[in-house]
Amino acid sequence: MLTVQTPAKINPVLEVLNRRPDGYHELALVFQAIGLYDQLSFERKSSGVELNIEGPSDLAVDDSNLIVKAARLFIHEVLNDSTGVKITLRKTIPMAAGLGGGSSDAAATLKGLRWLFETELSDEKMNAMASGLGSDVNFFLTGGAALGTGRGEIITPWKSSGSLPVLLIKPSEGLSTPAVYRSGKASLTSGEKAKNFKTLLAQGDAASISSHLFNGLEPAAFYLRPEVELIKKRLIQEGALGALLSGSGPTVFGIFADMAKASAASQKFEGEGFEIVVTQTIPTGVEKL
């Protein structure tokens, strides 16, 4: 058996550039992995893909699940359907939260199967398979910090910000990513904010990083779910150096000067039906346990 852990992400910068002919939006965004993980275990079997989920979860275990899709793709493309795998998921990353949990699990499946079956598979082939699974999957093959362009699938790894304390607040009601884009409320920008963020991340100063947070989808998310804007304002009031919607939401993250302040702020949100996580940024991605 092989077990891996795979992280969630936040997006300190997300710029929407324009709408592409294929219907997707051109993006320029910064990915940053955080220390909130799902675990996946892999065991060889004679044929087929079996997925089991430990703990409470509404996730399907059929071909609609990205883990199953990734496993079937790997077995078909790399192993010529000659074998199978049993996968057990221990789900911790909140679902439909803007934290990339599904994409992270898909990337972990590709990397886990490459390790399990000891295949000599190029990074180029891994990235091609990841791109076909979803826009964020490619980032989780590397983790740490990176610039994403195109749909988000073109990844340029960057030096990570180290260990910045982060408080995540996720409302109970989700936000539909297509609805956020369809609202017409997104702010369109040039992509320079994302590209210029590289220097800030490398310097690792929490105050400077926090003062340059930006998400072009925030106006749309705030329009659809005013509660999200209130959470952002409350995080600032409770001492966050900066706060931002992650991805298309609905999770909002705040960056704090230290873990004690992040923990103290988290207590102010207890008892209100939120999912609350105190964690930090990390320089890694999918790892064996």
Backbone angles phi, psi at 40, to 5 degrees: -130, 135
Active-site residue numbers? 9, 136
